[in-house]
Structure 1
Amino acid sequence: MKEIELVVGDPTSEAWLEVHHAANRGVWGAAAERTSIAEIVDVAARRHEVRRSFLVTEEGSDVPVAAAQTIRRTRDNVGTGGLWLSVHPDHQRRAAGAHLLARCEGVLRADGCVRIHEHSGAPVENGDAATGFALANGYRQTLLDHRQDLALPVDEAALTALDPRPDPAAYIIETSVDGLPEEWLEDRALLARRMSTDAPTGDIDLDEEDWDAERVRQQWNTPSPIWGIESVARHVPTGRLVAFTDLVVRPGQPDLAVQSDTLVLREHRGRALGLAVKLANLRGLQRERPEVTTVRTWNADSNAHMVAINERLGFVVTGWTREWAKDL
């Protein structure tokens, strides 16, 4: 085996990305997700991440065998690294994955990370080869998420029947397409901070993320190949945003919308605001991007309330994602 470090965006990176796509197809078949080099580069900058990419090829040839990327955060939770590792299905069980994993763990350790927090997914509840690989290499499971899919379009009559119609004297629902209004940014920063601590994290302690209006502006209001739509609930008496949800459509898979985050502030829960903003966003998505045929979301199995909301909307479970952690 021969290992090289590459820069994502150069010609070699397409072969690197195809290893990830081939491994994903091996797990999910026709339902495999796809990404693009443009998206990977864009996301790293927006998330304040430093990424290093590695490709393993057969000795004496340029045939790709395994690919990986280390993810080091520079703004918050800087001691917790990420890892994206794939072995091509034609070359699995030949030690390439273990070799590349050891290399990436060493890189993250040298970069000052004290642990790795990552995930793997499969269409079977009990896990697959990635589950066994993680356990064999000292990773512990911190959380189990349900992957849920919604087929589009959803009939407007069905959406109307589900709509909780919040009291307009108490809450109004607003939607923004491909960018957020300037007057949202301060409140959205607060909601993002709360999202980082209120969402289930399982058996791992993560610090509150450092969000301010400028970070929200960079995330949502600078040119990007990723398209987004967001709906919020505004508390009329105070004028503050108290709930949000967003969907993104990525260039590598324009027929799929991915649910990013949904949150209702604790003090405003119990009023069906989560359902209200999700319905508004679905309506906007179907209006703006009719080519999208699937909405996909992930929720911890312990988050029964959000899973139930998704089921009311018509989402069905299509897979399970395990979150993993390992101390370095």
Structure 2
Amino acid sequence: MTHPAHRIVELAPDDDLFPSWCQVWAAAGRDARPDDPPRPAQEHLALGRELLAPGGSRDGTHRAVLVDGAVAGALRLVLPLKDNPSLAVVDLAVHPAARRRGLGSALLAEARALAAALGRTLLVGEVDEPGPGAPGRAFAERHGWSCDLVETRRELALPVDEDRLAALEDAAAAAGAGYELVTWRDRTPEPLLSDRALLERRMTTDAPHGDLPVGEEEWDGDRIREHEGTHLARGRTVLSAGAVAGGRLVGFTDLQIPLAQPVLAHQGGTLVLREHRGHRLGARMKAAVLRELAAGFPEVRRVSTYNAEDNTPMVAVNEQLGFRPAGVLSSWSARL
């Protein structure tokens, strides 16, 4: 079967073709999870501008594959600058109507060439798998990538059952009686900033990462502020809760809400420092942000989260809250 000729072009966020590049991601998202609102173009635009701005923690570039002048596939390559100097993160999507024409393979070859030219020797990427037979898994396997981590996606239907939530809050408060609970929105309080940076660093070493060949990340207060600013630029608000002992932040959780379509929220990172575990702080913090969500954003109908199955304490907390499995997210790697 003969397919139309294609060509690959570089794109910047403010180029005329970039909205069509974003539409490829939206179409791929709708195909995989038709009940989820697609990621808004604003998110891609803000991230693209961040990657091009000087002085940040990461760099990046974008490519589009064109068929008859129309964008049929999208590639974003993200390059850490403060750590993991051999790593390149590959984000790749092909419009569902243009699959099985070799366009994804052409973009992947482009990603490999770009990474190699930039001195990167390790590629990593993620595949959303709502159910068996996800096209991204077959694509990764066909190209010889290694599946290094599988996380279960779980979803919580809102509103949370009040009796269930109250019982969990009472038990968690009793177990963590010596800890103060604090909440904030979008911007970590200045006195807690350095502690939050330590928690983000520890997230890259203490949370389960399977066999992913990535190293510890470098975090400081400036990188936290950059991270927070990116969420705002992407049109998200973030509700956070923390556990404090002796004036130090020893645990945190984030809940991200897309303001353009506040239907599905995402539970982001949750971590308690190893030396403060065993006091049900994770459950207490998650319950707190769910209370904040219900009060400020009652229109949100679902919350999603991802956990490795060997992260048994966090899986147990989520199941106690009422989260239920809804597919998996797999992480893959390839060496150049």
**How does the TM-score come out when normalised to structure 2?**
0.90
User: SS of 1:186's equivalent?
Assistant: helix
Give, in angstroms, the shift of residue 192 of structure 1. Answer: 1.0
In structure 2, give the amino acid aligned to 1:50.
D
Alignment of 1:257-268 (within 5 A): 257-268=265-276
CA distance in 1, matches of 2:129, 2:213: 25
Q: Paired residue for 1:326?
A: 334
Q: Paired residue for 2:58?
A: 49
User: SS of 2:202's equivalent?
Assistant: helix
CA distance in 1, matches of 2:284, 2:111: 43
Preserved CA contact (<8 Å) 2:183 2:241: yes
Cα RMSD after superposing both structures: 1.9
Aligned with 2:264 (options 253, 256, 271): 256
Unpaired runs of 5+ residues, structure 1, are none
Preserved CA contact (<8 Å) 1:9 1:37: no
Q: Paired residue for 1:38?
A: 42
CA distance in 1, matches of 2:317, 2:164: 14
Q: Paired residue for 2:300?
A: 292
**How does the TM-score come out when normalised to structure 1?**
0.92
CA distance in 1, matches of 2:97, 2:225: 43
Preserved CA contact (<8 Å) 2:212 2:331: no
Q: Paired residue for 1:157?
A: 163
User: What does the per-residue CA deviation read over 1:136-158, in whole Å, with 9 as the maximum and x for residues that have no partner?
Assistant: 11200001110011111224333
Q: Does 1:16 align with 2:25?
A: no
Q: Paired residue for 1:228?
A: 238
Q: Does 1:208 align with 2:216?
A: yes
User: What does the per-residue CA deviation read over 1:117-144, in whole Å, with 9 as the maximum and x for residues that have no partner?
Assistant: 11101111x4422111101112000011
User: SS of 1:29's equivalent?
Assistant: coil
The alpha-carbon distance between structure 1 residues 166 and 113, as it changes in their structure 2 partners (threshold 3 A), is: farther
Aligned with 2:101 (options 88, 94, 103): 94
- Between the aligned residues of both structures, percent identity stands at 37
Unpaired runs of 5+ residues, structure 2, are 1-5
Aligned with 1:5 (options 1, 10, 15): 10
Q: Paired residue for 2:34?
A: 29
4+ residue runs over 4 A deviation: none
Q: Paired residue for 2:146?
A: 140
Preserved CA contact (<8 Å) 1:35 1:252: no
Q: Does 1:64 align with 2:71?
A: yes
The alpha-carbon distance between structure 1 residues 86 and 96, as it changes in their structure 2 partners (threshold 3 A), is: same
Preserved CA contact (<8 Å) 1:8 1:37: no
